[in-house]
A and B are shown apart, each in its own frame.
Chain A
């Protein structure tokens, strides 16, 4: 990711109504705690992802859905899978790990 671009995060879950919402709330807190500005954090259902994926540079989902989103990673968009959606520690650790990588 270009440093100037900012993070456009897409949270994906099956129905877009529960686990995705929870993960979005956790992510918002995590980004704030890490002092990282995001341009957008939106969530969508799996069935809608194609409509949104090209306007994001990070996808976050439950670890159980990672296997359905491998094609997103092949497009060069990082996908983070979270085991414990309630754990700010896990979310922050995985975001921190991602930030250590270089994106162009």
Chain B
């Protein structure tokens, strides 16, 4: 259960803003760095790929899934973290809304099966329009716990 894991491992962060998308990526990796799931190098690998290929990590309006290669040396544990910014960041200089994001689910993988589990859990949640409406209103840890309890049915 994705949300349960985010809460259990404290892999979440709520912040007012980030200076730019790069700082947002770095902030989104902090919970994973804090417990050693990734090293400090991981965030720069993620950033490098976005610089090279563009914001391919934006999977739907206002949601991005930063990640680097699977099994990279900077990943020590398969994990996900969540960052919510009050003020969105834009990945392109033109400021287009389609490239603007507040919600970041950062993935790190060194176990394909566990990673697919995490991805599938996320997909199941984000394909539910009722969930997405409530998810967009998250502002803090308490909101996240309420959301988890409602949608994943556990305390």
- Residues of A at under 8 Å CB distance from B? 13-19, 21-22, 25-26, 46, 62, 64-65, 67-68, 83-88
Contact = CB atoms under 8 A, between A and B. Distances in A.
A14 B53 contact: yes
Contact of B70 (A17, A19, A65): A17
A84 B55 contact: no
A23 B61 CA distance: 15
B69 interface: yes
Interface residues of B, number: 26
Interface in B50-89: 53-61, 63, 65, 67-70
B123 A64 contact: no
Given A25-B120, A64-B58, A83-B98, A17 B69 contact: yes
B55 A18 contact: no
19 contacts: A14-B49, A14-B56, A15-B49, A17-B109, A17-B115, A18-B57, A18-B65, A18-B67, A19-B56, A19-B65, A21-B116, A22-B119, A25-B120, A46-B53, A64-B53, A67-B54, A83-B98, A86-B63, A86-B123
B127 interface: yes
Interface centre among B49, B57, B115, B120 (most CB of A within 10 A): B57
Contacts of B116: 21
B119 A64 contact: no
Interface of B: 49, 53-61, 63, 65, 67-70, 98, 107, 109, 115-116, 119-120, 123, 126-127
Given A14-B49, A15-B49, A15-B68, A65 B56 contact: yes
Given A22-B123, A83-B98, A86-B126, A17 B56 contact: no
A86 B59 contact: yes
Contacts of A22: 59, 65, 119, 123
A62 B56 CA distance: 6
